[in-house]
Structure 1
Amino acid sequence: TNNQRGVCQTSNSSSSNTEDFKLDVKRVLARSDQRTTVMVRNIPNKYTQQMLLQEINVNHKETYDFFYLPIDFKNKCNVGYAFINFISPLSIVEFYEEFNGRKWKNFNSEKVCCISYARIQGKSSMISRFQNSSLMDKDGEFQPLLFHSSGSNKGKPEKFPIAGKTKRSFSVG
């Protein structure tokens, strides 16, 4: 069944600050944790950007403004995690309650979704992180995606700003 829940394993990395990235729903609801960017781990490698967005958008369309599923260019498969920035910290709660500890719907995978906070926080920080990246020269399916955060275009794709890539025209002669 699709409602199977598993235990979300935290990595046994030597990093002592894994607690810093732990998502506590009570703190979010109390508005004492205002972070908005999450890392979604244990994604089956066959998931494409489109498949994952389709699954997320069933209940969470227009609640996020940044999405990135890193892809291994050699084998064209995702690397097992994604980043999502939610427009409001409170939107994280429903997403977390739906996905965290749940097995994935596609590919009959035994992987259990784990959600924690990302190291880099916020849409503007994510833009800064990726706008000069060589990723922006790749096909769209490999690039981070931006969506409008508010207004009549909320949830619709937004063009990724590319910093320092101004075209110069040279005159010869």
Structure 2
Amino acid sequence: MSWTAGYNNSVAYTTGFYQEQSPTYLNACLVMQRVAPPSIEKFTYCELGFGQGLTSLILAATHPQGDFYACDFNPVHVLAAASIRDEAKLSNLTLPENSFGELAQGKVELPMFDYITMHGIISWISDETRAQIVQFLKRYLKPGGVVQVSYNAMPGLAQVLPLRRSRRGYA
């Protein structure tokens, strides 16, 4: 199998900011459920499969007390995000260019994480790659840490469907 492991890399991933991945948002959700959240005084954060990187770039810029790692194996994604990171002088954002398997096997030196997030990953990867993510979580999630998984799927986008339809000229 090729380096893409079945991933379609012929089209660039969409650019978007996903507030649900924010440590402060996640902590608010936990507090509302009466679960003690990790401290945001000083924390470590990892986004697996960051696409264009906008979420991690914004979070690193707005949470200077955090050490951010955004991991993606697509070199185009990593180069684009690294360019913005460097221009913005975000010294708290590291961008490893590795597969989930390499990360899960510990081939990259990473800290233990308070937060590990993924958007739009779990639903379209192979069972083998999902198992690698579970291995990564077992290896790198701190006790009491948070894992966040979200999907870019129809139920989550239902509120914008009328706007989409109106812009395409049909109701």
Q: TM-score, normalised by structure 2?
A: 0.28
RCO (CA 8 Å, sep 6+): is it higher in 1 or 2? 1
**Higher helix proportion:** 2
Instruction: From the CA coordinates, give the structure whose radius of gyration is larger.
Output: 1
